[in-house]
Structure 1
Amino acid sequence: MLSLIVFLPLAAALILAVLPAMPDRAARWSWLVVTVAELLLIGVLVAGYDTPPDGGLAFEERLRWIPSVNSSYHVGVDGLSLPLVALTAVVFTACAVYAIREDRRPRQQAALFLFLQSVSLGLFVAQDLILFFLFFDLSIVGMYFAIAGWGHGNAARSALKFFLYTFLGSLALLLGFIGLYLAADPHTFDIPELVAAAPLAGRPVVGGLVLAAILLGLAVKTPTVPFHTWLPPAHTDASAVGSAVLAAILLKMGTYGFVRIAMPVLPEAWQAWSWVILIVGIVSVLYGALVALAQSNVKRMIAYTSVNHMGYVVVAVGAAGILADDTAAARELAVVGAVTQMVSHGLITAALFLLAGVLYDRRETYEMGEFGGLADPAPRFATLFAIGGFASLGLPAFSGFIAEFQVFAGSIGATWVAALALPGILITAALFLRSAQKLLTGTVGGRAVGFPDLHLRETLPIAGLLVLALFIGVVPWPLLDLIAPGSAAVVELVSR
């Protein structure tokens, strides 16, 4: 069933690509139908998931692929990957609804985003390093064309910067994977086998170098400070659906790589580097929030909040590697919070980027100073923007609060140093309140005059994403129960 879920969008993309005579309307609706079908299939997957007694993988599939290097087509899901698989289906469905009236090459756009959906799903279910790397690299190619082909402003330059930065990171990642392969005995790229073997245990120098290569590749994609400079221009010049997918899904490929590969396969090296990782996370939290506060462009502001929010994940996984007496439960809580934050950030930030896209669609600018008093002509836009802002700053009753509470409770339980990231929450609150005041309140003026409110195709996906964030905030236990066993397993492996 996993293979069907991964490759159904790709098959649809290929059909769209080879049918140039397909009407635009049919292409748009084909995209939506496939994403809804994926959502239903993944719903069945989630409903049928039960944590295996041995704590391993469910719905596992394995086929002979590249026997010369002991690499196989190996896929499976657990409590760490299944929430991200579901997030992928939700976000791509929201984007398909939002773009149902797209008039710029809709057939090509539908094919490209279906391709991106396949590679994203493939990465989250991959249990082989070569398979993981294949999907990782293909996501870079797909997003390059999404930014360059449907962006605006300096889209070509921003797409090139995105590609060069992230492709360089992928080369470092490949180097790290080759290091793991060579260290394993017998040589293998299979992730569960590498986790069981911990091939670089007792070799601190080589293990540290391999972890450094893997961390560099994943940190660029996350992105963390100082590897984040490709992110603001990429978001600013991408289309609304391009930004939503980039922030909600592609950034998670980096943080997911931490918990799936780096932590369990290189436990000793992760312990040795944990303080560095924690400090990088704290700097990312504070720097991302402070720079976001200084922005006048709402889309750049949201982009920098992604640096801030992904910093929380890095803080949590860094703290999970700091071993001390009686902190195992706290470190498990931190990892649960990290995975919850990935899901929460995906839902909320995708909604915010779609809202920012509405501003550009109507007035071709993201500058907050160009608007004022939008709550009067566009009450639906104002309501959803305010809800999205409060959700992003971690207000109780939203998923952001559940995630950040666990991140900080677990991380501070492991080391008080993690408390240095707490001011990031306050700064995030200030920047979203400031943006809401500039855009929504006061006398109607500037480009807010005559501003058309949200259409149904815009309201449904944005509201749907925020409703899910609210549901997780009010009823978090189904998601937390799903994540907890995998998080406990990761912490146990790191503690070896």
Structure 2
Amino acid sequence: MNLPLLTLLWAVPMLGAVAIIALPPSARDAVRWAGLAVTGAVLVIAGALAAGFDPAGAQFQFVEDHPWIPSFGTGYLLGVDGIALTLVLLTAALTPLLLIAGWNDAPDPRELNGRATHAYVALFLAVQSMVMISLVALDILLFYVFFEAMLIPMYFLIGGFGAGPRGERGRAAVKFLLYNLFGGLIMLAAVIGLYVVTANDPAFDAGTFDLRAIVAVVASGGLAVNPMLLHLLFGGFLFAFAVKAPLWPLHSWLPDAAVTSTPATAVLMMAIVDKVGTFGMLRYCLQVFPESSMLLRPLVITLAVIGIVYGAVLAIGQTDMMRLIAYTSISHFGFIILGIFVMTPQGQSGAALYMVNHGLSTAALFLIAGFLVSRRGSRMIADYGGVQKIAPVLAGAFLVAGMATLSLPGLAPFISEFLVLIGTFVNYPGAAVVASTALVLSAVYILWLYQRVMTGPTRPGVEAIGDLRSRELVVVAPLIAALLVLGFFPRPALEMINPAVNHTLSIVGEAR
């Protein structure tokens, strides 16, 4: 009997969240361990998927297809390809580490009738569940439901369990929610419009949300509809994904949300949740609307290149350590989107791999910076200096994570950024040259940050900073190890990614 692994992938954390909420208020320690056990189970399920996945096999594997609302042409349809599987593994691996990193992020037993810890862990598991089903959904309406639903637990994690003043984090949470809800409403109109198009298309017996059926018709000749309508529908999908990603100039919610969240929540948002936006561009924008993607790719590439340089330049000027790291993510997301829309095998393979590598490097750098800030009680770079004399292991781990962020050869982000730039140069050499300036800019902001924080004389207030503790080493060590392994041996990830990339480009190639 074959287990429904894709259903278990999202149902286990969702049921775990419900069970945790039901535990008594006095079971705060048990709640943390229960959450960790649930994420461990999800990691095992993801490992089973990876072990059973055949890169040379069908595009979508472990498919589950059950009726949901047949009269609306929608079903419970799940399947996983190589790109989705790499992100599933990233999500499954990072979530338990983030729970360990945020072990004491909800310590006050007086909040929420003694259930603050319960709520914190349950929200984390709910986000993991919704990200997982978004990655494996092959029904467009099913994808949309959870694409939007994940905003709710993230809103409460930012606003209810943030690291900044209550008013500041409340504003950041509302800004995060409004930006993404507006993008989602635009996408909803596009989803409905796509259903109407399929209902009126002679290739379909009735309207459908089945991604496989729609892509098959697109690949065989295109939808029988006015191209301008398809361009508008494409714009609706792209807008929502660009807000989530985020793509310049729709990025302004990210720095505020990141610095007012706890480090664990910020990493959950930047390394996991935001990847659903770039993943959506690959799966939906390019495969369902290949002609529109080709027509508008110069615009998207221009915005991506602006975001790459903009994020790097603003990072250099920051005095807040956590805000600096948040701006680096805007630059990195620009690289990912650039690789997606240059429409070359190297660019898209690099972009898909970059989604994983960015998740690892951002998690390492942001969490280590968070451990440092929790000791000193300040995010201001000027309040630090000489940390490497007091905490050499912390400083060394920070340096490795920083070198990964600037794509040092031998660390995971290098190969993905290198592939994106090579793929870009094939079709858009000017964009590749401009984007390459971020390599210099990233060296400036990372090395300058390290110099000001870690080297020089020990500033007052830094003397009491201790080195990484055992719990923190449990979080940092796997991240550093993964950055090194993928830096020297990215082949397994690329072998999973490349067939899905080739399928996408074959569809786009029909539109050229």
Mapping of residues 32-431 of structure 1, within 5 Å: 32-51=36-55, 53=57, 55-102=58-105, 103-104=107-108, 105-151=116-162, 152-153=164-165, 154-184=168-198, 185=201, 186-198=206-218, 200=223, 203-320=226-343, 331-419=344-432, 420-431=434-445
Q: Is the 8 A contact 1:173 1:213 kept in 2?
A: yes
SS at match of 2:150: helix
Partner secondary structure for residue 109 of structure 1: helix
Distance 1:13 1:160 in 2: 24
Which range moved further: 263-272 or 181-190? 181-190
The equivalent of 2:473 in structure 1 is 459
- Structure 1's 201 and 312: CA in aligned 2 closer, same or farther, altered over 3 A? farther
Contact 2:391 2:466 in 1 (8 A): yes
Displacement after TM superposition at 1:183 (Å): 1.1
1:446 corresponds in structure 2 to 460
Query: Deviation at 1:21?
Result: 3.3
Task: Give, as a single letter, the amino acid of the residue that structure 2 aligns with 1:74.
Answer: L
1:462-496 superposed Cα distances (whole Å, 9 cap, x missing partner): 22112112111111110111100000111111111
Q: Deviation digits for residues 305-338 of structure 1, max 9, x if unmatched?
A: 1110000011112211xxxxxxxxxx01111000
Secondary structure, counterpart of 2:147 in structure 1 = helix
Q: How has the CA–CA distance of structure 1 residues 397 and 201 changed in structure 2, closer, same or farther, with 3 Å as cutoff?
A: farther
- Secondary structure at the aligned position of 2:68 is classed as strand
Of all paired residues, the percent bearing the same amino acid is 35
Q: Which runs of 5+ in 2 are unaligned?
A: 109-115
The one-letter amino acid paired with 1:383 is G
Whole-Å Cα distance in 1 between the matches of residues 372 and 460 of structure 2? 13
- How many residues get paired? 485
Deviation at 1:200, TM superposition (A): 4.1
Report the secondary structure of 1:65's partner residue: strand
What SS does the aligned partner of 1:72 have? Answer: strand
Give secondary structure in 2 for the equivalent of 1:400: helix
- Is the CA contact (8 Å cut-off) linking 1:298 and 1:366 kept in structure 2? yes
Distance 1:63 1:316, change over 3 A: same
SS at match of 1:183: helix
- CA shift for structure 1 position 446: 3.1
Aligned position for 1:495? 509
Deviation at 1:373, TM superposition (A): 0.6
Counterpart-to-counterpart distance in 1, 2:360 and 2:351:
15
Partner of 1:20: 24
Which SS does the other structure have where 2:410 is aligned?
coil
The C-alpha deviation readout for 1:382-405, integer Å capped at 9, x for no partner, is: 011100000010001111101001
Cα deviation, residue 52, structure 1: 5.5
> Residues 76-104 of structure 1, C-alpha deviation per residue, up to 9 Å, x if partnerless?
10111000000001110111221234424
Query: Could you say if the C-alpha distance between residues 443 and 393 of structure 1 is closer, same or farther in structure 2, counting changes exceeding 3 Å?
Result: same
Give the conservation status (yes or no) of the 8 Å contact 2:241–2:280. yes
8 Å CA contact 1:222–1:252 kept in 2: the answer is yes
What whole-Å deviation, never above 9, does each CA across 1:173-199 have from its counterpart, x for those lacking one? Answer: 111211211111331111111111225
List alignment gaps of at least 5 residues for structure 1. Answer: 321-330
1:486 to 500, 503, 508: 500
1:351 partner SS:
helix
* C-alpha distance in 2 between matches for 1:477 and 1:404: 15
Deviations 1:45-97 (A, max 9, x none): 101110364x4211110111111211001111011100000000111011122
Q: Quick one: distance in 1 between partners of 2:224 and 2:256?
A: 40
DSSP-derived class of the 1:495 partner: helix
Q: What's the CA shift for 1:172?
A: 1.1
Q: Distance in 1 between matches of 2:447 and 2:87?
A: 29
CA contact (8 A) 1:225 1:280 kept: yes
Distance 1:336 1:174 in 2: 29
| C-alpha contact 1:319 1:415 (8 A) present in aligned 2 | yes
Deviation at 1:133, TM superposition (A): 0.9
By how many angstroms is 1:22 displaced?
4.8
Matched, 1:5 2:25: no
Structure 1 position 267, deviation (Å): 0.6
Letter in 1 for 2:207: H
Are the equivalent residues in 2 in contact too, given 1:333–1:409 (CA < 8 A)? Answer: yes
More moved, 403-412 vs 93-102: 93-102
What is the CA deviation profile of residues 8-27 of structure 1, one whole-angstrom value per residue up to 9, with x for unaligned ones?
A: 01101001112233511100
Q: TM-score, normalized by length of structure 2?
A: 0.93
